[in-house]
Amino acid sequence: MGPYVNIEEAIDLLKAGQVVAVPTETVYGLAADATNDEAIALIYKTKNRPTFNPLIVHVLTLEDAEIFVEINENAIKLANTFWPGPLTMVLPLKPKNPISKLACAGLNTLALRIPAHSLMQQVLYGFKKPIAAPSANPSLFVSPTTAQHVIDSFHGTVPVLDGGPCRRGIESTILDLSTPTPVMLRPGPITLPQLENVIGPIDTTPPLHIKAPGQSQRHYAPSKPVRLNALTVAPDEGLIAFGSPVPEGAMITMNLSPSGHLDEAAAALFRVLHEMDRQPIKRIAVMPIPQEGLGVAINDRLKRAAAQH
């Protein structure tokens, strides 16, 4: 089987306990059967991911979600507003559930979402089981927003269902609803004001323990150093620009959104990081991104990309 597979082949791989990269509206996911310990272990092995980092599990309907987790009033309100879509909710696991403990990293909670991408929905419909699917890239490196990114990241060793470029281009918002006051674990396409408009106040203090993906300090990182809030550039740097005017003098410049639109910048972020990482430059400089709306999620990813070991 070559690097590209169709929907039926992707479902067959999942049934066989294998991994397959699948498209979602956020980024490509490295999918496996969420009820199969060996399949989940293969995700961790393929990604070289710390096993204390839980995975997001994808289901097709809210009724499916209720099989695995305790759904509370806030979850129902958010599901009715934002599902299917780029919102992950962390909810208490039901005492008897088939989800692999490895997928939950041994926690008594599960990170769950209903994806909006039609191909991912077709895979879920055909597979008829929950699917764990963290981003389809080696752990800590830049997330993939095209099938080619997956092929490049894993040197063609991971089969991929090609669904074209991801529309959102940035990972889902993660909200912890297992505590009395909801806690924002990771900013994303669904913004804090949008969430609070539905369920009221949300705590933005990071928890002491990892409860969901994307919380480690260094994450989404290219191989080259990243310098943030750059107002000037050096000749050996590549510049990731936003809006205009753009500082001159970089070896290469790529603009996330020449018109200064944050949704366009979010969709382009990981593609541009991938492209910059392949350029003959010493460092990647990034212009300031407004800390508002989707800019909060973009800056979160950039800060983690810039963090050193």
Q: Note the pTM of the prediction, 2 decimals.
A: 0.85
Q: What percent of the chain stands above pLDDT 70?
A: 94
CA-nearest of 178, 202, 199 to 104 is 178
Cβ burial 112-145 (10 Å sphere, 16+ → b, else e): bbbbbbebbbbbbeebeebbbbbbbbeebbbbbb
pLDDT tens-digit map of 244-291:
999 999 999 999 999 999 989 988 998 899 899 999 999 999 999 999
Q: What percent of the chain stands above pLDDT 90?
A: 76
Contact in structure between 40 and 103 (CB atoms under 8 Å): yes
Provide the CB-side half-sphere exposure for 154 (13 A, CA).
28
pLDDT at 54 exceeding the cut of 60: yes
Q: Which of 36-40, 70-74, 98-102 has the highest mean pLDDT?
A: 70-74
* Amino acid identity at 158: V
**CATH number of the domain at 7-199, please?**
3.90.870.10
d(CA 201, CA 198): 9
The pairing of beta strand 56-58 with beta strand 109-113: parallel
| Residue-range domain boundaries for the chain | 7-199, 226-306
DSSP reduced 3-state for 239: strand
pLDDT of 118 reads: 97
Q: How wide is the angle at C-alpha 19 spanned by C-alphas 102 and 167, nearest 5°? A: 100
pLDDT tens-digit map of 23-48:
999 999 999 999 998 899 899 889 88
Contact in structure between 58 and 172 (CB atoms under 8 Å): no
CA distances from 278 to 149, 224, 289, 309 (A): 12, 9, 23, 21
Q: Confidence class of residue 50 from pLDDT cuts 50, 70 and 90?
A: low
pLDDT tens-digit map of 164-211:
999 999 999 999 999 999 999 999 999 999 999 999 999 998 776 767
What value does the mean pLDDT take over residues 117-136? 97
pLDDT of 106 reads: 77
Measured between its terminal Cα atoms, the distance across the chain in Å is 37
The pairing of beta strand 226-227 with beta strand 252-255: unpaired
CA-nearest of 2, 235, 17 to 131 is 17
